[in-house]
Structure 1
Amino acid sequence: MGTVHAKAEPGESVEMGGGLFEFEEPLEMEDEPIAKPTIKLNGVRARVDRVHVDGLNRTKDDIIRSTVDELFQASDFEDVILRAHKVRRALDAMGCFRDIGVFIDVSSGPDATPEGLEVTFQVRELSRIVGGINTTVSENEGNLVLGVKMPNVLGRGERVQAEYSMGYRSSSNFSVAATKPFPQKPLVPVLAASLYQQNHEYPSSGYRLLDRGLLLDLAFKTSPATRHNVQWEGLVRDTSVLSKTTSFKVRESSGPQMKSILRHIVCVDHRDEPIFPTRGTWVQFTSELAGLGGGVANLKTELHAQANATLMEDVFTSELAGLGGGVANLKTELHAQANATLMEDVFTSELAGLGGGVANLKTELHAQANATLMEDVVLQMTGALGVLHDVFGTELPDHFYLGGPTSLRGFQQRGVGPHNDGQATGGRVYWAGGLHVFAPLPFQGARSGLGALFRSHLFLNAGCLAMPEGTGLASLEALRLARVSCGAGICVRLGRAARLELNYAVPLRAQPHDMHAPGLQFGVGANFL
């Protein structure tokens, strides 16, 4: 038996940064492939006699041994290959190695068995200090991130990293984080602690927000696709005005506040593609409890979900005979296939008030559904719903905001809902939805190469943001004042984490105090309405 070699796939590196454009399919070659005989690997009996890991320096043997142990449970050659690939991915997930190669050969030596194999992993450990430049996207703003990290500090996957990011507007963030994985424990928990400072300006609302805090995070998996995060966050939030023309309503929310938050996030992701999905589901549920200390108290629960489905692929054939000959009939044939996934949504509920000067109840719901109408044409439905119940101390940064190229298109950033002297003050109740059609560009070659990064886009958005003074019927009356917009444009995928949209939007329905923005709109982000 020969030697089987395997190397890391493109895009699986753990280094900071990544390619901006990634192709889903390789470029097609003109030469026809040569037919090769197939071998059923599951019919070849095999077992693993030895496992070697070459290239270890700082990494401890115990975490490597626990990772590769499952190779000894393989019963045939196909099982060996699948388990070796799984182990390679587990080694890559540790964040300790740069390159991982897998070599499978027949076993040799005095202890070799007739069906025995030897599996060798060749690894290259990361340098003690690694620096990099990356880009991120947040709230329709691109950020340049300068980072430095020390991987595998103590030999068991520990990591210390520092990042400083600058937005193309006025935002800036700084954080220092330490991470400790426990790969040998059940559920594979990862413990992280970070100190951060975040500075953001919101010109549409006339205030600047400065957050300084500490975040403790415990992440674990209950299944390969289900991830949990249990967090505690303590922060000091300082709100200040941007200019002398800032409205008095915004000035009332100025000043520092302390906030203590307990948060649980569960995410289940079965999608085939996070940016332009065509099938699979994604659900994220977030619950926050604020008020164990500080001046804000609220309960916040949020649910985001996404469903992608192929609604129908059909072939319709109609045949008419009888214009000549001895047979006359009409034959009609329809073949159809339908598959559907029901829902993808995100529901968030937040409660503040167990301590401090703010107490409120905030609930938010986001939903998204996607369906493939025909080959490469996807119908997407999105939705969002939010309710904020104030107990005490709720200020403008806690409110909901709606409008902009990533939410309700055809309106300015935060342009929907209550305003005071032309500045958005947000609301406590909102709903929003969207209907989208994505398709490849109508050009030859648009489904491969560089053209595969682009999609044509049609959309219809609707939503409402209100600040009802009362409850019950008053809230329902406020939510009837829907805003509607439609338009078309082009979308571009930026790597695997964000997309860019250039749309021509037309507001169809608006309220007098709304700030609408007909015409071209440019948006960039990871989540769109």
Structure 2
Amino acid sequence: MTSGESPLWTLKPPLQDSSSPLDQEPIEVRKLRKWQEQRVAKKLRGDHESATLHLADLINNSLLAPLCVASVRVEGTHKTRPSFLGFLINPIVSPSSGGSLQGPQDVQSVLHATRHISDVLQRADIFHSVSAKIERSKDELYPPEAVDLVFQVREKGRFYLKTSTELGNNEGSASAIGRIRNVFGGAETFEANMSLGTTTRKSFNTSFSLPITPDLNTYAEIGAFGLSRDYSTFASCSETLRGVKALVRHGEPSTGSHELAYQAVLRNLGNLLPTASISIRESAGQTSKSSISYTYSFDNRNDRITGTRGFYTKLFQEFAGLGGDASYFKAETENHISRSVLPGLTVALSACSGLLWSFSPTPSLFPDRFQLGGPLSVRSMRFAGLGPRDGLDSLGGDLYWSAGLSVISNIPKKGHWPLKTHMFLNAGRLDSIDKSRNFVENIQRTISQPSISAGIGLIYKFEPIRMEVNFGLPLVSSLENASKKVVPVKDRIKYWNIVPGDQIRLLGRRRGGRSDENEVLHEVVAVNKFRNRVYVRGMRHDVSPDAGQRKDKNYHYSRCQLFLGEHELPLKAGETERKVVPVFAQRIGTSHPVWNSFLRRWQWERFASKTVPVLPERRHEHILIPWPKSQPTIHADATPYDTPEEQVLKVTYKPPPFSPTLRGLQPRVPTETEYLRALYNSTYKNSAYKTFFAGTQPPVEQFLYKELSNPHSRAKKMKRWQEVHRAKRVLLNEYIEEEVKDLKGRTRGEARAEAAFRWRQRLEEDKKEGRKINWIKKGGEEKLERKIKMRKRKEEKQRSRLASLTLKEEPNQVIPKEL
């Protein structure tokens, strides 16, 4: 606005500002002022829109006007190589080798080239900001329609460091990431990160990447990595990896990403727990792998965490056998799709599958196998709890599939909350490939017997992670699968009357509590006392000798009725032949349990106090039910991996002979000082401890007496109690002697009473001090400090909110004059 122009609008009396306008001006004045402000804003917005439309019309009418690019300048680059900028820009302005005039020839093509160059510079991730200008060319050799493209850029910092903590996928970790951007001036990136965690104990990864095409859609990367993982929660071991990797990546996940990689890894399976199974012990040791892999991924979901449309797919293929111990082909696919069926209601479906085919005659290696189970695959199952097992250890598998259906809805009347309700149904199975069968039979076996779980929960969207709190139960679980839920201790059956070897029938739930159809008898093959489940042998679930895995179904203990045998019922009126029917125990009683000290177990007798059908001649009689006879153990033939029998029977330990006479006393265990002195002083050794180093050493029990003895035995508890009371008596006598020495006009009885009072006070102080020490050992001091800090932080936040509080302007407000 120039000096000769008048303002768009002004305030004149009585609309001029006063010292306190909100107190003195009427409401109509404020309404008039607001109306004038809206008019001015509307006029300015209309002028801007008309100017924009005029400029757009001008450009649209001039799109075919002749215009060419004389030069492209990028200003503000101090660390980027000019050759790299030419590498990015030349293919845009000079698509052929004929020079710059072979590029854009009109206004439209020049604008497109400008936008394309700006986009490429921003995607290089080395500039904070990029602004473009079109200037008339200053070179007189070019025609009048030639222009210069000028880009003003501001480069990003070269060094970057970040620390973070992460929690998820059954693991917590802390990590540090260091990055050097634009290392040699060509958008190269060197990155190194290191993390410490619970499952992945230690890991490091270094990589160097650079673009290899001008459109920045293809990158090459080389790197080295190493990590140490703790598998003790499901496999009683740990794994350490060291390797190198080289890859070429093309595209983005939103349009389709391709990755071709080569990897060489040295793996070591160790740190076995004492409870490790034979299979894990056989897999332990060092192995190597040299493989080439291809990965394709596509993701067009509108939200990675709680998407309502779009889908995600990932395909991974790996061939190992270019060297090393591993030789296999692995394929894995992962798919997710989400759809909004109603406002606030979303249905999500996910499916995953994998195949590992080993080319060697021996089974696949443990580090290469799949693991299944847990919150990211089949919920309500223990992490890595599905698939073949050896005792408590999960061995992994070669073939798996999993599927999940989720229904996510908003909280009623709280659709804007990040908290959602969640219902899910998951199914999956993990198996080993039996090469004695064809491939189709392996697939059919895996698909036909899934583990299924269902539940409900809550989802909290906390960018960039998704937190779930679920309550779920396994609906179907095979014997080899480790389900997550167990029966509480108070609900477990204490004395089991159904044991392996018994014959039972199952009470159906659909027929009013009656038995299953055709009175089918089932043999009990195993029991699970942690879940009150009974495993029975069925026609479709026999032990598969080829697969080496039990396929028995399980039922709850309450659904089982013991089979007592077949009995003849007496003739009823109108009957001519006696019926032979199976009899089952409807109610089972037991005798008083007796402890068998030789077998170290409780023993009792079981009897049927009520039968189905009722036996008239034994209506009020307790029918004794014999325990099944145990089958003799059949030992497998010895293999080269088994210890020979003579080595097992060889006596490797002889107890030390203890003589009751003084001549037969065992030599004393030397102290640490004596041992070191005798070890480094030959004179001392030859004189005092000659017998000790000559071979007459104390037995091993004397060295391990602390480890071999029970610290909580009755005698040791009594000894510690006596020592404490002896120390109290000694302390009381000290106080009495101190008071009696100087009576100060008191009688001896008064002095003793004063001493007893001081003694009791001392005991109370010692007790308080002991409680304080225990409180500190349990972390009470750190907890108290955290509470104090949180309280102070809360008070500071409250004070800052009160200090920055601004009252909203409302009618009838009075502002003090001093403010």
Using the TM superposition, give the Cα deviation of residue 376 of structure 1 relative to its aligned residue in structure 2, in angstroms.
4.5
Counterparts of 1:101-500 in structure 2 under 5 Å? 101-104=130-133, 120-134=150-164, 139-184=169-214, 188-202=217-231, 203-221=233-251, 225-302=255-332, 346=333, 366-392=334-360, 394-444=364-414, 446-447=415-416, 451=417, 453-467=418-432, 469=434, 470-472=436-438, 473=441, 476-496=444-464, 498-500=465-467
| Counterpart residue number, 1:515 | 482
Aligned to 2:469: 502
Counterpart CA distance in 2 for 1:266 and 1:85 is: 30
Is 1:53 equivalent to 2:74 in the alignment?
Answer: yes
Structure 2 letter corresponding to 1:131:
L
Q: Which residue matches 1:308? A: none
List alignment gaps of at least 5 residues for structure 2.
1-37, 94-102, 487-819
Question: How far, CA to CA, are the matches of 1:287 and 1:170 in structure 2?
Answer: 24
* CA distance in structure 2 between the partners assigned to 1:373 and 1:205 by the alignment: 42
Report the Cα distance in structure 2 between the residues aligned to 1:410 and 1:373, rounded to whole angstroms: 26
Alignment correspondent of 1:9: none
Tell me how far apart the structure 1 counterparts of residues 261 and 168 of structure 2 sit (CA, whole Å): 21
Contact preservation (8 Å) 2:311, 2:338: no
Tell me, in whole angstroms, the C-alpha distance in 1 between the residues paired with 2:147 and 2:311. Answer: 39
CA distance 1:370–1:83, shift in 2 (3 Å): farther
CA contact (8 A) 2:388 2:480 kept: yes
The CA distance in 2 between the partners of 1:180 and 1:87, in whole Å, is: 19
Q: Which has the higher helix share?
A: 2
SS of aligned partner of 1:369: strand
CA offset digits 1:52-92 (Å, max 9, x no partner): 42320020123323434547749667983x76555444223
Q: Residues 164 and 516 from structure 1, CA distance in 2 versus in 1: closer, same or farther, beyond 3 angstroms?
A: same
Q: Distance in 2 between matches of 1:195 and 1:68?
A: 33
What is the alpha-carbon distance in structure 2 between the residues aligned to residue 151 and residue 430 of structure 1?
41
Determine the C-alpha separation between the residues in 2 that align with 1:455 and 1:73: 53
Partners in 1 of 2:306 and 2:72 — Cα distance?
Answer: 40
CA contact 1:44–1:76 (8 Å) conserved in 2: no
| Structure 2: distance between partners of 1:65 and 1:149 | 25
Answer yes or no: is the 8 Å Cα contact 2:211–2:219 preserved in 1: yes
From the superposition, tell whether residues 74 and 140 of structure 1 become closer, same or farther in structure 2 (CA, over 3 Å): farther
2:375 aligned partner, one-letter code: P
Give the aligned residue type for 2:469.
Answer: L
Q: What is the deviation of 1:133?
A: 2.2
Q: What SS does the corresponding residue of 1:372 show, helix, strand or coil?
A: strand
* Contact 1:404-1:414 at 8 Å conserved across structures: yes
Shift of 1:104: 4.3
Q: CA offsets per residue over residues 398-431 of structure 1, 9 Å max, x none?
A: 2222111111001110112222222211222222
Aligned pair count? 418
Secondary structure of 1:513 counterpart: coil
Distance 2:408 2:114 in 1: 38
Deviations 1:276-309 (A, max 9, x none): 333334333222110110001001122xxxxxxx
Is this contact kept in 2: 1:140–1:406, CA < 8 A?
Answer: no
Which amino acid in 2 is paired with 1:58? K
Structure 1 position 170, deviation (Å):
4.7
Return the letter of the residue paired with 1:61. P
Q: Deviations over 1:135-159 (max 9, x none)?
A: 5677443433212222212111122
8 Å contact kept, 1:373–1:379: yes
Superposed CA offset, 1:78-119 (max 9, x none):
983x7655544422332323x113244675868799998875
Q: Is the 8 A contact 1:102 1:119 kept in 2?
A: no
1:62 aligns with 2:83: yes
Q: Residues 405, 382 of structure 1: CA spacing in aligned structure 2 closer, same or farther, 3 A cutoff?
A: same
**Shift of the alpha carbon at 1:121?**
3.5
Contact 2:122 2:130 in 1 (8 A): no
Which protein is richer in strand relative to its size?
A: 1
Mean CA deviation greater in 398-407 or 48-57:
48-57
Supply the distance in 1 between the matched residues of 2:344 and 2:149 (Cα, whole angstroms): 41
**For the Cα contact (< 8 Å) 1:162–1:175, is it kept in 2?**
yes
Judge which range, 62-71 or 197-206, deviates more: 62-71
> In terms of mean alpha carbon deviation, does 398-407 or 466-475 score higher?
466-475
Secondary structure, aligned partner of 1:427: coil
The 8 Å contact of residues 84 and 102 in structure 1, kept in 2 or not, is answered as: no
Rounded to whole Å, the distance in 2 between the matches of 1:162 and 1:113 is 51
1:163 deviation in Å? 1.0
- Asked which structure has the greater CA Rg, the reply is 2
Contact 1:241 1:251 in 2 (8 A): no
The structure whose RCO (Cα within 8 Å, separation 6+) is larger is: 1
Instruction: Please list the CA deviations of residues 218-264 of structure 1 after superposition, one character each: whole Å capped at 9, or x if unmatched.
Output: 12349982332211100101011442111122111100001001112
Residues 63 and 183 of structure 1 are in contact (CA less than 8 Å); yes or no, is this contact kept in structure 2?
Answer: no
Calculate percent identity across the aligned residue pairs: 23
Q: Secondary structure at 2:223's aligned position in 1?
A: strand
| Cα gap change, 1:151 to 1:475, in 2 (>3 Å) | closer
CA spacing shift, 1:299–1:116, aligned 2, 3 Å: same
Once the two structures are superposed, residues 449-487 of structure 1 have per-residue CA deviations (whole angstroms, 9 ceiling, x without a partner) of xx3x44432211111222354424365335422211112
Structure 1 stretches lacking a partner, 5+ long: 1-31, 303-345, 347-365, 520-529
Residue in structure 2 matched with residue 43 of structure 1 by the alignment: 60
Alignment map for 1:10-89 (pairs within 5 Å): 37=49, 39=53, 40=56, 43=60, 45=62, 51-68=72-89, 70=92, 73=104, 80=111, 86-89=116-119
Bigger shift: residues 380-389 or 274-283 = 274-283
Q: Describe how 1:90-101 pairs up with structure 2 within 5 A.
A: 90-97=120-127, 99-101=128-130
Structure 2 CA distance for partners of 1:518 and 1:114, relative to 1, 3 Å: farther
Cα displacement (A) at 1:435: 0.8
Q: AA paired with 1:55?
A: G
Note the C-alpha offset of 1:492. 3.4
SS in 1 for 2:175: strand
